[in-house]
Chain A
Amino acid sequence: MQTPTFASVQTGFEFEPVIQSYAQGAIDRYALGSLDMNPVHTNTDWAARAQVFGLPETVGHGMMTMSTMTSVVTRAWGVIGRDGARLRRVESKFTKPVKVGELVTARGKVKSKHHHGPGRNWVLVVVEAQDTSGDLVGVSEIHYQLPD
């Protein structure tokens, strides 16, 4: 893992994609890890009856999709670094439920560089997540502070 400097990063830089399974076991593990035990994610019988999203099956957590999108940046640059690098903010919108069994692919790109002064400069990374059929399931804007 190598965190770049603010000066060396170019807009348009593309991160390695993150691919995450949304099989029921992965959703179950996320439910316990996050303590979001809403039955729409874990209870297949209830989900079939309630059809919260008009679907007779469970769906992945939006927060799991947010996490997958965030991991695009943190797996490349780290959650925090010894040199002041750190993720500051994540804003995510969810555009389509992720059905159980999907494979989500998240891709990110540096959109802009924000010159706030030494020790405070940061870049905006836009991450998009798609399901197995290529439909957009989420978009995130991630603020990441980089060393000078």
Chain B
Amino acid sequence: MPIPERLHQYVSTDKQQHFPKDFLSDWQHYETWDQATVGQSGPAQRVFEITAEDIIAYNVACGETDPLMIDPERAAKLSPTGEVLQHPIFVTAIAFYSLGESGIGTWIRTPGARNPHQDIEVFEPFRYGERITTTVTTHDKFMQRGKPYLQMKLDFHNESNVLKARWYCSLILPASQDDVARFANA
């Protein structure tokens, strides 16, 4: 199922242009709650190279208007890093881009998923040109009030192995592939 045509007007970055945006097309390959194993760990599919346009796209989407967050020229003169400052929840974009469409952690793309709570720690600002590797660890898997919860720990390191941010990402998921299918095929 292609994405709605109207969304193309908002595409402003190279990653947005090429990212597989149809979450309903590869759902059979997404990890499910049934398949996830606590303690399993591995690298995400893609490395995310930080660019000003990625940061600005996220900041603008959050409604930010501070020149230090949306104007590279002003940021070069005035921001503490000399670069546009990212909104603290920018790791969301790194995670969705990096996790890809099959394998560990891809349940983040699941049709029918619901978002109960999230926990993000920021250790250092991301800098232009950094190549961010995301390490995924299945952290918890439980049933609560009849709902299947899955939580992964996402560690975001740069090419010098500096831990830049950590996200404990939780979702309530359709438990099995059959359950996912009911949403994907709706």
CB distance from B184 to the nearest CB of A (A): 9
Residues of B near A36 (CB, < 8 A) are 92, 96
Q: How far is the CA of A29 from the CA of B57 in the complex (A)?
A: 8
Q: Are A93 and B23 in contact (CB under 8 A)?
A: no
Q: Are B85 and A80 in contact (CB under 8 A)?
A: yes
Q: How far is the CA of A25 from the CA of B7 in the complex (A)?
A: 8
B12, CB-defined interface residue at 8 Å: yes
Q: Tell me the residues in window 36-70 of chain B with beta carbons closer than 8 Å to chain A beta carbons.
A: 57-64, 66, 68-69
Q: Are A1 and B66 in contact (CB under 8 A)?
A: yes
Please pick, from B7, B88, B116, the residue contacting A87 in the complex, using a CB distance under 8 A.
B88
Known: A82-B80, A89-B119, A92-B117. A50 touches B112 (CB 8 A): yes
Residues of A near B115 (CB, < 8 A) are 61-63, 94
With contacts defined as CB atoms under 8 Å apart, how many contacts are there between chain A and chain B in the complex? 155
CB distance from A47 to the nearest CB of B (A): 9
Chain A 3-41, CB-CB to B under 8 Å as 1, else 0, gives 000000000000000101100011011111111111110
Q: How far is the CA of A43 from the CA of B80 in the complex (A)?
A: 39
Q: Are A53 and B114 in contact (CB under 8 A)?
A: yes
Q: Are B87 and A79 in contact (CB under 8 A)?
A: yes
A84, closest chain B residue (CB): B80
Q: How many residues of A contact B (CB 8 A)?
A: 52
Q: How far is the CA of A102 from the CA of B12 in the complex (A)?
A: 25
Q: How many residues of B contact A (CB 8 A)?
A: 55
Q: Are B80 and A32 in contact (CB under 8 A)?
A: no
Please pick, from A21, A42, A80, the residue contacting B125 in the complex, using a CB distance under 8 A.
A80
CB distance from B45 to the nearest CB of A (A): 13
> Which of B15, B60, B114 gathers most chain A CB within 10 Å?
B114
Please pick, from B7, B15, B117, B183, the residue contacting A52 in the complex, using a CB distance under 8 A.
B183
Q: Are B7 and A32 in contact (CB under 8 A)?
A: yes
Q: How far is the CA of A34 from the CA of B169 in the complex (A)?
A: 14
Please pick, from A32, A43, A52, A67, the residue contacting B16 in the complex, using a CB distance under 8 A.
A32
Q: Are A44 and B16 in contact (CB under 8 A)?
A: no
Q: Are A33 and B93 in contact (CB under 8 A)?
A: yes
Q: Are A34 and B96 in contact (CB under 8 A)?
A: yes
Q: Are B111 and A39 in contact (CB under 8 A)?
A: yes
Please pick, from B12, B22, B66, B89, the residue contacting A75 in the complex, using a CB distance under 8 A.
B66
Q: How far is the CA of A53 from the CA of B11 in the complex (A)?
A: 27
Known: A49-B186, A74-B87, A81-B80. A88 touches B62 (CB 8 A): no
B residues sitting closer than 8 Å to A (CB atoms) are: 1, 3-4, 6-7, 10-12, 15-16, 19, 21-24, 57-64, 66, 68-69, 80-81, 85-89, 92-93, 96-97, 109-123, 125, 183, 186
